[in-house]
Structures are given as C-alpha cells and as structure tokens.
Structure 1
Amino acid sequence: MVAELEARHGLRPGPVRDALLALPREVLMPQAYVRRSAPDKDPPRWDLLDWSAPEDRPELLGLLYGGGSVLVQHDGEPLLGRAGRTRSGASITSMSTVMGLTASLLEELDLRSGQRVLDVGTGAGVTAAVACQICGDRGVVTLDRDRHLTDAAEVRLADLGFRPQVVYGPGEQGVPGAEFDRIFVSYAMERVPQALVDQLAPGGRLLVHVTSASPSWPGLAIVERTADGRITAQLRAVEFAHRAGHGMERIWLSKEFRRRINAEPGTWTQRSMLAPPADADRGLWLAVDHLLGGLVRDFGAEHLVIGAPRCGSWLRVEPVGHRRWNIITQGPRDIWKELQDLKARWQAAGSPSRYRLYIEPDGGQHAASACGRLSWPLPNLHPLDQGSAP
C-alpha cells in the first residue's frame, strides 16, 4: 500500500510514510464490509468480513491494504461485539477514507513530535493512530459525534499501545478551552467552524474540506495562526475531498436524470467554437460550485455533462470536429452561458487555482481572488447543523 502511495500519490520519505508502514490496519479495522450486490441493486447487500475468521482474512487484507475506502459501520451500529453476517438495506454510515487522500492531507498537516493534535471525525481511528505515532499520544485528542465509533477507537488504539484522549461530542465545537497545533477535519463542511479557528495555537494549522451541496468541485481550506496571533487562510481547489458531514445537504444526479440527459435531444442545440472549460481548470470549477449553485457533474460521462437537479436543467457537450462542439441544453437555466460568463470573470481575475479566505471576527467568511475581482461568501451554519460530525 505504501509503495502504491509513493508511486501514484507522491508520498515522500518522512514521518507519515514511517507511521503508515508501522500501522497494522487490521487492529484498527478487524472487521469491514464488502458490497455483494450490484451498484444499482435495491436494497443493497453487504457481507461483514471478520479478521477472527481465517477464511475472511485474504479478502479483508485486500480491502485494508488496497488503498481504497474501507467500510466499517452499517446503519449506525455498534462496532464492538458485533457478529459477522450479511446486512441489507439502509446504508454504510462510516468508512475509512481512501489512503491517497488521507496520506496527502497528513503530509500537508506537517505533523511533528510533541504537537497537540485535534482529530475531528474519529471514524476508524486511522488519522488518530498516525498522529499518535508521530506526535506522541499525550497530545492527541480524537473527537466524533458517534459514541459507537469513539468506543471502538478507544479500545483499538489502546491495542496498538496508544492512549489519546477520545471525546464523544459535536465536531464543529472542538474541545472548548483547549489549544491545538494541528487540527484535522475528516469530513467536508460548508464553511470553517469558528470554534476550531479559535482553538488554533500560535503557529497552528487547520485543514478542512469546504464545499456546497454539490459533491462535484470541492476546495480545501488551509487556516493558520501566525506567531503573533493573526489568522491567515486560503481556499484551494482540489480534485477529491472527504464525504459531507452529518446533516449537510447533498444534491445528486439520479440514475433516471442521467439517463434523460444522455438520451433526450434537449430543447436547444447550438454549435460553438468556444471550448468547454478544461478539467484542469480547478479554480474555475471551485468558483462554479459556489457562484453558480445547484449544479452537479456526471463524471462518468465521456464528455462534459452537468445537471441541475432542483430545476431539471441540464447541459451536454459533444465534440463535432476540430475546435467545434455541439452544446445541447434543456430547462430554465442556460448552464452553458453561465459557465462561459464565469470563465471570462475567472480569466480576468488571473485564472486562480486558490483564493484568499477571509474569516472575520463577527463570523462572516468569504473567498476572493488575489486581485479581488472574483469573490463569494460562505454560508452561515444553520442552528441545527451546529456540532454535527460524521
């Protein structure tokens, strides 16, 4: 797994690599789910693989060290003392994140011995274990809103010889009264929680994915407190992000909506010599996520396909020769025009891939290009969403 992270994700020699090599993942995740039903089969069906069953070990090892997501909890169940068997219906409610994403974020966190670390969203305990290995467990606090996850993590981290402080509670509130050199949030949010910013020590760094209701174009917020106490932050466009936190609204393209987009002729077709925005223009797509609202991309389509589930509008782009495209649209929104107008604004702002993130003392937050010509506010958290975590 580590060799694959080096080859494909640029994992470098250093403390994160050493910690991953030293971490027996089967201790943290002695059970994991594997889906046995087809993706479109309803209800879905999973089998729970168990390390204590010798016949399960080869498949479980493949899951644990394959680098992909590891499914650890079904329908909010307790993790300790459960029997291996088939589950159907409901959904997977906790998983260990894809290792390429986790490793790159842990490297960016710049963990060092003796640091005080807050791990928000305990999950299977992987990031907490890495932090304990690098920084020492006395300075590590791991926090989750699901008591079943914290109970299991406390036991399994102890089996590894680590005894961090394990806290059950709302993630966005952090640990009131404490200060941390590093804060890592393992789920996406609509904005940076002010309580976590307040808990950054001088010289501290906070990482959290920030996204709208759409899962398509996320950003990574990097927040730092300088030695003299000032807060500086940026929002960087990224390709992949953590899953949305508990209670956060999400919009998707349903199977039926995707079928309609790909099969129907649309209400308007135009020939264009304007190229669709490139996938590599991540800074533009991050702006699309926040400024054009309600759009979701079908990344499984061969060419650019975007839908707006709330109003039924959609866009399909098909190449028809050298530097010519058919732009097929339907619905009340002209998504193509919206994209081209925003692309012009983005280019006029210098085609940024990252934006300054302003976190005001009164709680307001907004992102802006360096020249200030492209900006948007981040939404306030709704009262019912305060303190949610995965």
Structure 2
Amino acid sequence: MSFAVPQVPLALASQLAPGGRALMTLGTSSPSWPGLALITKTGEVEAELQAVEFGHRGGVGFDRLFLSTSFRERIATDEGRWIQHSRLVPPADTERAMWLALGHFHPGLVCHFGADGLTIGAPGCGSWMRARPVGHRRWEVTVDGPRDIWAEIHDVAERWRAAGSPHTYRLQMDPAGAQRVTTSCNTLTWSLPDIPRTSGDVQ
C-alpha cells in the first residue's frame, strides 16, 4: 500500500522511539514534484522536507495526476493566447527543490515529462504553457488560459535562488497542528494544509 499526506500526522510522529526515523510523502495538488518528509526523534521530534524525483501520489483523481491525451494534444498543436521569445532559461528538472516550492505556491500544475522542451498544464482551469529552445539561451514560450504559468515558474525560481537555492527545507511542526516549510534563513516559507477530518475522527 502507498500513500501521500498533506502534512505529517503528529500522532504518527509521536509514536517514534528515541532515535527512530520515519519517511512519508507529502503530496500537493501539483503531483509532478513530490516531497519526502524525513522525521527523526532525538530529544524531540525534528523533520526536514526533501524534493525527490519519485514519490507516492495522493488519491486526487487520475485527471489531476496526469495530463489527458486530449489536453496534451491541444498543448502540442494550439496557437495559444500569446507567444513570446524569452532569454529566461527555465529551471532544470534536477532543481527539484524549486519545483517542489512551485507546487505549493502555485498549485494545480502537472508536467508532461515526455514532451520536447517544457510542457505544463493546469487541468483545473485549462491553462497550459510550452517552452521550446530555439537557439542559445533563447526560448519560444506559448501560453494559454487564465494563468501565466511561465511567469509563475520564474517568480518562484527567483525567490528560491534568493534563498540560496536550497536542496532541502526545514519542516516546523507546531504541537497545535500548524506545519510550516522554511529555509534555514527563513527567506522562503510556506504553510502546509491541514489534514482533512473525516466523519470518524474524534472531536
């Protein structure tokens, strides 16, 4: 069985024995860039969040985990809302911590890793973008839909680089339930969503 959770369940973390460790995938609504929480218990419970290439996926529906065939075909062939030539180079796939942050700051994005260049869609609203190299440090960028995904990528990339291009993040867990991801210098932070309650949860 596999699973992904929106934040670390404190009940599980508290059951660790002294010196114990636990791993779990923290899923977002951008499942293309998973994060792996590493929880350790020394004198107290500590955690960090690592960006990884592969991870479990939360059960959010197939159409939000992968771009449908028709959506991929539309991205590949449509003219889009606008086209521009940019000298901004998109972050590399290996800069996973940046992409992980993107999934939290701008949720709902799904990457088509099999496409030429960079292809990302937002199935929830139908937005998409494709960026293809057309020369040295020159990219042809096509965007469609209400979201400017290209601008979203570079907004987060700039903030990530300003934070020192970290590979991992600290995961702060408040006993009251709030959890926050942050860099060592606190220049790039975001809060994790609460774990949804079910009808069987004790109030």
| TM-score bucket (shorter structure) | over 0.9
What residue is the counterpart of 1:295 in the other structure?
109
Partner of 1:207: 23
How do 1:153-302 residues align onto structure 2 when only pairs under 5 Å count? 186-226=2-42, 228=43, 230-244=44-58, 248-250=59-61, 251=64, 252-302=66-116
C-alpha displacement of 1:386: 7.6
- Describe the superposition over 1:286-333 as per-residue Cα deviations: whole angstroms up to 9, x where unpaired: 101111101110111121000011111101001111110001000111
User: Residues 348-387 of structure 1: matches in 2 within 5 Å?
Assistant: 348-384=162-198
Deviations 1:332-361 (A, max 9, x none): 111111111111100000001110001110
> What is the aligned partner in structure 2 of residue 329 from structure 1?
143
Give the C-alpha shift of residue 371 in structure 1. Answer: 0.8
Three-state SS of the structure 2 residue aligned to 1:202 is coil
Runs of 4 or more, structure 1, over 6 Å off, are none
Label 1:262 to 1:342 Cα distance change in 2 as closer, same or farther (>3 A).
same
Work out the CA distance in 2 between the residues paired with 1:321 and 1:307.
24
Unaligned runs of 5+ in 2: none
Q: Structure 1 residue 268: deviation in Å?
A: 0.5
Unaligned runs of 5+ in 1: 1-122, 124-185
Q: Which residue number corresponds to residue 46 of structure 1?
A: none
* DSSP 3-state at the match of 2:20: strand
Change (3 A) 1:200 1:386: farther
Structure 2 distance, partners of 1:254, 1:191, is 28
Q: How far apart are the structure 1 equivalents of 2:159 and 2:200?
A: 34
Please state if 1:304 is matched with 2:121. Answer: no
Larger Rg: 1
Q: Aligned residues, how many?
A: 198
Separation in 1, partners of 2:29, 2:107: 8
Distance 1:378 1:259 in 2: 34
1:340 equivalent to 2:154? Answer yes
Would the aligned equivalents of 1:266 and 1:329 in 2 still touch at CA under 8 Å? yes
2-side partners of 1:334 and 1:300: how far apart?
21
Give the Cα separation in 1 of the matches to 2:134 and 2:78. Answer: 18
Q: How does 1:85-96 map to 2 (within 5 A)?
A: none
What amino acid is the match of 1:249? V
| Higher-helix-fraction structure | 1
Q: Percent of pairs identical after alignment? A: 51
What is the rounded CA distance, in whole Å, between the counterparts of 1:199 and 1:299 in structure 2?
A: 38
Is the Cα–Cα contact under 8 Å of residues 211 and 289 in structure 1 kept in the other structure?
A: no
> For the residues of structure 2 that align with 1:368 and 1:309, how far apart are their CA atoms?
28
TM-score, normalised via structure 2 length: 0.93
CA distance in 2 between counterparts of 1:353 and 1:240 reads 15
- In angstroms, what is the RMSD of aligned CA positions? 1.5
Give the distance between the partners of 2:139 and 2:57, measured in 1 at CA: 34
**Maintained 8 Å contact 1:365/1:378:** yes
